[in-house]
Structure formats: structure tokens, C-alpha cells
Amino acid sequence: MSDRVHYDVDLTDRVQHLVHVTMTVPQRFAPDARIEMATWTPGSYVLRHYARHVQWISATDDRGPVACVPEGLGAWRLATDIEGDVRVELELYANELSVRTNHVDDHHALLVAAATFPFVAEARDVEHTVAFPGIDDTPVHALLPVVDGSWRARDLDHLIDSAFEVGDFPSVTFDVAGVAHTFVWSGHGRSPDLDRLADDVTAIAEASCRVFDTAPPAASYTFLCTGWDQGGGGLEHRDGAVLQVPVHAFGDDDRYARVLALIAHEYFHQWNVTRMTPAALTRPDYTHATLSASLWVAEGWTAYYDELLVTRAARWNARRFVDHLAEAVATVDAAPGTLRHALRDASNEAWIKHYLPTENAVNATTDYYQHGAVVAFELDLRLRAAGIESGLDAVARALWQRFGDDSNGYDEADVLAMIAAVGGDDIAERIDARVGRPSGPEIDNRLLSTVGLQWQTRPSSTPDLGAQVRDEGGRVVVASVFRDRPAWRAGMTGGDEMLALDGTTVITAKELDAALATYNAGDTIAVTVRRGPRVRTLDVALAAPRPARRLVPDPDASLQATAQFTAWTGHDLASLD
């Protein structure tokens, strides 16, 4: 055996959700080696402790069994007296379908590398290879190149930043600027229209390339997309992405539009994150939380661009795009946590807050995805107002030219310096303040006029309850209660089940909205809730309605502003009417 670390993956017991992995550790790394499982996967900043899925583990060398002693949680220490290469065998339970975890059954085998392959830190920089013996001609779709029947990673980091989908599934391959792209559908039921999907993704990919003025940086790019009855999301990798969407999403126009935005988000990460990387994440410790204050750039800017790219690709119309922007601004502006938690701190604390939210999160923290996207929107407008015709694109392009594939990565000071270089110190200082202290967005009509827009207030007659509710199994459940608003002051809390208003039952969230619309601001209503085993009735004094705002064309927009709107979105301003 050479110096490379090799893995054989046995899927014989896949029906029972079991995966058997044999890791061959070269002799020079084996004595006293610490075998470790990752606790998290890049792109998803929360500890998941993948070792909890290990059913058993053992080791052998050329002479026979080798001691493999547990050392803490998720690590094992090999003996020092080793003869030849060591074969570490383990069995994993894989029945958690998400883009960050493993799921194998009679239909497919989705394996996320961080959740699948143990590693030796001292062998981090040698080649790592993967094979699937015993699967005969079953296709393996992977985010790694295949050579002589093995999928090859340059090093451990390349391996961890990959995934595999095993099964004979519908797929389509298409070309973007000379780079082969493949979309694999492993969901149940009828396959989506792959030709339509290829056309739409091509347009999105080309729009992404124009931001950075470059061809796709991957040698090839693969989407592994699975479908389930609920849930969804995506996880970026260096040469592809893992997607999960509702199984029928491709048959509904609205849900399909959201799938395209998800695809755009993960695809944009091909530049912003997997190659142009926050410094702390360039060579992370996979066994401990790796903090980065730059997630508002890595994820926030990407969240801004995902919908913008789909719009520029003419797969969304301008009205959908600006409505989503207005909704994002309103959500950030209304959340009490925006004024209590700095965006920079939210980036650092993603590990304990963003991915592990409580019902009170809206009051205590801010979302570096959505809030970061709103800051990106504000920055884009300020750059355009300062005469930078391509706005935020100019900063993204300059960062790419400087930090694309830079092994040291960038930090916040680099981003702010690039903003200053492109748009001036004043803009950079404003953005630094925006992310460095708790504050809401500042996107007013003067700024919006740069692209020919203005706010239009839409009055509401429904008084404010101050709570978010959701339908859950035939019940109306309070998702969260906004601090210092009526429900909060009355003692309502997230998790309460709403039973009745003034003695009349409430069956759905829509019914609740209709009932509230019959009251006036200042009215006190009796809200009956179930809280665990208790039933309580709370007197809630309703507040004044909270009017909504919409982005509409400025009737006095200049020719320059209308041209800037088109340069920004790819659409005519008049299309909003």
C-alpha cells in the first residue's frame, strides 16, 4: 500500500440502514495513531457528533487484531506495536436524511464524507481514496474524480468536502463555459423535467460567472438532489452540492422557483466560501467548533445573490425579487434581536444559536443569512449611489481576484478594505458599523431612488397581537412571541397552543388572522392557550396595526435610475407595474 489513506465502503446491509467502512491506514501513520470522526461538516456550523452513529469499531494489522482504545468521544487510539498497514473497520447507522448526514436504504445511499470517513490528522495532507466493492454496475455519483475505480481526493480536506450518491438515478449533463455540469435526481416518484432544469441551471450558472467575470472554477460540477415528503435545504461542496427538496417541488411553480434559488445559493458558494474562503475555515479543525466572524459575508452575501442571480437569469420576474427583498427587510427590521445582537457576533455564535434556535431566538439574536443579505442589499445600493455601476459585483469580483483559491483565506479587515478600495472609506466605515453593533437596516427612499424604487406603505386594519403562529398537526401553535409587544406583555410564550379567542375556538393560523381582523387596536381579548398540561386564559391588549411596505417604481425615477435598475436586475423597471 502506498502512503494514501484508502476506504472501502460496503453497502450489503443498506436495507437495515447500515454502512460498513474499512479504512486502511499506511504503516508510517499507524503506530499510536488517533482515529477520529468529524463532529461537523463545512458549510453547516453546528456540532453534530457523527461518532454517535458508530455501531462498533475494530482494527487489525498484518499479524492480527490491534488494540483500538476509545479516547474521549469520537476518537480511538491504536496500539504502538504495528506490523504493516492497519485496517480500521467500523459500522455506521445511516438513517438520517438531510444534506449533512447519511441515509441508506433499498432506494439509495447518500453518504456525506464528514459523517462517513474516520481520519488520522497526521495523514491530512496525503491522498485519500474511496471504493465501493461489491456493488457491481450500480452507478456511483460523486463530487470527486474517479481514477481506476477509486474516487480520489488530494487530501483529507478535499475528501471531507465531498459526498456520494449510490444508485441508478435519472440525471442530466450539460455544459457551462466548457465545464461539465451534472444534476442527479435521487428522489422518489416521477423525475423532474431534467431538460428544463438543465436550461434553467445553465442560465443561473452563466449569471454567476458574470459576477466574477470568470468561467466556473470547478473542473466539473455535480448536484446530488434527493427528495422527501418534507423539509429541504442545501450544502455546498468544492465541486458540487447536496440538495434536498420536497418530492413534488418540481410540479409547483412557486416551489420550483424556490428550488432554483436554492440551486443558485449553493452554486454561488463555488466562488464565495469553497475557494474564496474565510481565513478560519481554510484548514479547520473538524473535531471542534471553528469560529468565523465572516459568515455574514460567506452566507449573507450568498443569500442576497441567490435570488438576484435567478432574477438576472430571467427565471424570476422583477416583482417576485423585489417583493422578497422587501419581506427580508421587514423581517430583519421587526425582529427585536436585531437591536440586541450584532451581525458579527451572530456569525461567531452560529454554532450555539443559529442552528440551535429556541422559540425566543427572534428576541435575542439575528440571522446572519437574512440580515447579512439585507446588509448586502444596502451595500449594493450605496455602491451604486456612489457611482459604482456594477455595485456589489465590483467588490465580489475584486475579492475573487485577490482571494480566489488563496490558501490563507480572507478576514473581515480584507473585506472592508476591498469595499473601501472600490467605494470609498465612508461606505466601508458604515458597513463596519452596521455589522459591528446591533442595528437595523437603513434603506430609505433616498437610497432606493438610485435604482428607481421607493417604499409604498400598505395600511392594515388588523391589530397587532405580537406573535408568530404556525399550523401544526391540526393545532395553532405559537412559534415565537415578540418582546414588548401585546402577547409578550400578557404572558404568552412560544410553544403555547392557541385554543380560543374570547371563547371561540381557533382551528388554523388563517382563521386566527380572520378573527383578529374583527377587533380594533386597544381592544382586550381573552386568549385561551394550552401550555403542557395546563390551560390558561390570558388578557391581551391589542396594539395598533403594523403596516406593511412594498417596493414600487419611483414615479420620478430618472433615466439613469431606470438604467441602473436594469443593470442590477436584468429587467426593466416598468415590469414592476
Residues 6+ apart with CB under 8 A from 559: none
Tell me, what's the pLDDT at 268? Answer: 98
Rg (alpha carbons) of the chain, rounded to whole number:
26
End-to-end, the C-alpha distance of the chain in Å comes to 68
Tell me, what's the pLDDT at 232? Answer: 82
DSSP 122-142: GGTTS-EEEE-TT-TT--EEE
Strand order in the sheet with 163-166: 103-104, 109-112, 163-166, 140-142
Q: 326 with 549: CB under 8 angstroms?
A: yes
Tell me, what's the pLDDT at 400? Answer: 98
Calpha distance 509→155 (Å, rounded): 51
Calpha distance 576→452 (Å, rounded): 11
Q: Which residue has the cell 488530494?
A: 154
Tell me, what's the pLDDT at 406? Answer: 86
Calpha distance 471→520 (Å, rounded): 24
Calpha distance 184→136 (Å, rounded): 20
Q: 331 with 354: CB under 8 angstroms?
A: no
Q: 85 with 65: CB under 8 angstroms?
A: no
Cα-based torsion angle of the residue sequence 7, 12, 18, 24 in order, rounded to the nearest 10 degrees = -20
Calpha distance 109→122 (Å, rounded): 29
> What letter would DSSP give residue 576?
G
Calpha distance 137→143 (Å, rounded): 19
Q: 435 with 415: CB under 8 angstroms?
A: no
CB pairs under 8 A, 24+ apart, for 277-281?
277/403, 277/406, 277/409, 277/410, 278/409, 278/410, 278/411, 279/408, 279/409, 279/410, 279/411, 280/409, 281/42, 281/409
Calpha distance 247→259 (Å, rounded): 11
Written as tens digits, the pLDDT of the chain (577 aa) is 479 999 999 999 999 999 999 999 999 999 999 999 999 999 999 999 999 999 999 999 999 999 999 999 999 999 999 999 999 999 999 999 999 999 999 999 999 999 999 999 999 999 999 999 999 999 999 999 999 999 999 999 999 999 999 999 999 999 999 999 999 999 988 889 999 999 999 999 999 999 999 999 999 999 999 998 767 899 999 999 999 999 889 989 999 999 999 999 999 999 999 999 999 999 999 999 999 999 999 999 999 999 999 999 999 999 999 999 999 999 999 999 999 999 999 999 999 999 999 999 999 999 999 999 999 999 999 999 999 999 999 999 999 999 998 889 999 999 999 999 999 999 999 999 999 999 988 999 999 999 999 999 998 989 999 999 999 999 999 999 999 999 999 999 999 999 999 999 998 999 999 999 999 999 999 999 999 999 999 999 999 999 999 999 999 999 999 999 999 999 999 999 8
Calpha distance 353→358 (Å, rounded): 8
Residues 6+ apart with CB under 8 A from 297: 272, 278, 372, 412, 415
Tell me, what's the pLDDT at 405? Answer: 83
> What letter would DSSP give residue 245?
E
Q: 200 with 220: CB under 8 angstroms?
A: no
Tell me, what's the pLDDT at 407? Answer: 87
CA distances from 244 to 8, 112, 233, 241 (A): 26, 13, 5, 10
Strand order in the sheet with 128-131: 64-66, 54-61, 86-93, 18-25, 5-10, 128-131, 150-153, 146-147
Main-chain phi, psi angles of 21, to 5 degrees: -115, 130
